[in-house]
């Protein structure tokens, strides 16, 4: 089936296709209004060396970056994603879903603190709460290890919580899925009705046991009689004898063997061979001789 045939079927069964497309549009509108828009806000923080570790660099923490800071950033991110941290953040007023991880392609101890939700103002406020809570948890870790204040690792905000941005990717995906599903179901219903109409309600496939000798079409005159094929030959009937050819009557001429092929009574061959005598068939009726056959000579009396 080519595109032209598909288009003809769609035009012919418009009363099935159009309601399906209307339902598809209604489904897409429902997804658009029922699936809320999500907003996302993100901040970027980094871990810095302690004041004591930066004395050799005149107190500049960005000149004394160590590998241990990256390990500390990974441990802090895991703690912020734990169930205990989720409960603490909800108690502090955080709404939506938050995530803490090391920044992609980071060359140092950089962390991304992300909050996602449906309320734009609440998402921005929640990201600020998450940033402050990360600083608090870093200090608590070191306090539990009885680290002196001048030797504690510090945290600096590189990018403050950003204005929440709409995340339309998931929403568009739901819209595309709803539209595609509705359109496919509409086409399936259209071609199903077309197939039913072509086949008709009373038509069915013949069973293998049905008589195959009858044709399904009408006779050539169109009088409604079914055309039948040639009747099969009766195997039990006697065979029809073939007409015999007329016998050809033949006359066999018996020739006497030549003398050179015969033997005398004493077993010796004859000295002089005899000329072979031709065999002539005797005439069935005697015909009188006319005068022309005698070349003008009349037979004599008694001859």
Alpha helices, H only, 161-260:
169-199
Are 108 and 190 in a shared domain? no
Are 54 and 78 in a shared domain? yes
Are 26 and 42 in a shared domain? no
Alpha-carbon distance of 102 to 150, in angstroms, equals 25
Are 19 and 92 in a shared domain? no
Are 61 and 27 in a shared domain? no
Identify whether the C-beta of residue 49 lies closer than 8 Å to the C-beta of residue 61: yes
Identify whether the C-beta of residue 177 lies closer than 8 Å to the C-beta of residue 189: no
Q: Per-residue pLDDT tens for 244-289?
A: 555 555 555 555 666 565 555 444 444 455 555 555 544 554 445 4
For residue 172, give the DSSP letter.
H
Predicted pLDDT of residue 41: 94
Q: pTM for the whole thing?
A: 0.55
The length of the chain, given as a count of residues: 303
Q: Is residue 64 part of a domain?
A: yes
Residue 102, strand partner residues? 111
Which residues form the domain of 47?
38-167
* Residue 258 tokens, joined: 């030549």
* Residue 204 tokens, joined: 């069915």
Q: Is residue 147 part of a domain?
A: yes
Q: Is residue 265 part of a domain?
A: no
Are 152 and 193 in a shared domain? no
User: Look-up: residue for tokens 């449906």?
Assistant: 118
Q: Is residue 24 part of a domain?
A: yes
CATH at residue 54:
3.30.70.1130
Domain C-terminal end among 111, 144, 167:
167
Are 130 and 188 in a shared domain? no
Are 118 and 92 in a shared domain? yes
Three-state DSSP class for 154?
strand
CA 21 vs CA 14, 58, 171, 185, 293: distances in Å:
10, 72, 20, 9, 117
* Residue 127 tokens, joined: 């990201």
Q: Is residue 116 part of a domain?
A: yes
Which residues 6+ apart lie within 8 Å of 134 measured at CB? Answer: 45, 76, 80, 100, 111, 113, 155
Q: Per-residue pLDDT tens for 190-248?
A: 888 888 888 765 555 555 544 444 444 444 444 444 445 555 555 555 555 565 555 55
HSE at residue 167, side-chain half, CA atoms within 13 A, is: 17
Q: Is residue 287 part of a domain?
A: no
How many independent structural domains does the chain possess?
A: 2
Are 46 and 163 in a shared domain? yes
Q: Is residue 23 part of a domain?
A: yes
- The number of angstroms, rounded, from the C-alpha of 34 to the middle of its chain's C-alpha atoms is 35
Q: Is residue 223 part of a domain?
A: no
């Amino acid at each position: 089936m080519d595109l032209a045939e598909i288009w003809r079927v769609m035009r012919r069964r418009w009363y099935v296709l159009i309601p399906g497309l209307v339902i598809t549009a209604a489904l897409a509108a429902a997804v658009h209004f029922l699936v809320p828009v999500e907003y996302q806000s993100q901040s970027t923080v980094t871990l810095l060396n302690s004041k004591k570790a930066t004395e050799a660099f005149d107190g500049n923490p960005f000149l004394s970056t160590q590998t241990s800071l990256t390990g500390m950033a990974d441990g802090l991110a895991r703690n912020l994603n734990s169930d205990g941290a989720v409960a603490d953040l909800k108690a502090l007023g955080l709404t939506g879903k938050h995530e803490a991880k090391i920044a992609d392609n980071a060359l140092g101890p950089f962390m991304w603190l992300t909050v996602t939700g449906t309320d734009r103002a609440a998402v921005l406020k929640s990201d600020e709460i998450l940033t402050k809570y990360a600083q608090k948890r870093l200090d608590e870790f070191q306090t539990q290890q009885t680290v002196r204040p001048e030797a504690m690792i510090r945290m600096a905000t590189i990018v403050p919580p950003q204005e929440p941005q709409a995340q339309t990717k998931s929403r568009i995906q739901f819209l595309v899925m709803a539209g595609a599903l509705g359109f496919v179901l509409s086409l399936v219903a259209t071609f199903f009705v077309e197939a039913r109409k072509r086949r008709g309600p009373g038509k069915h496939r013949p069973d293998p046991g049905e008589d195959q000798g009858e044709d399904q079409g009408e006779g050539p005159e169109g009088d409604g009689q079914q055309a039948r094929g040639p009747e099969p030959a009766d195997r039990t009937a006697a065979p029809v004898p073939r007409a015999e050819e007329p016998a050809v009557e033949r006359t066999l001429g018996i020739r006497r063997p030549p003398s050179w092929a015969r033997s005398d009574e004493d077993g010796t061959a004859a000295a002089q061979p005899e000329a072979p005598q031709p065999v002539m068939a005797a005439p069935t009726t005697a015909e009188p001789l006319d005068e022309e056959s005698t070349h003008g000579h009349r037979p004599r009396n008694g001859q």
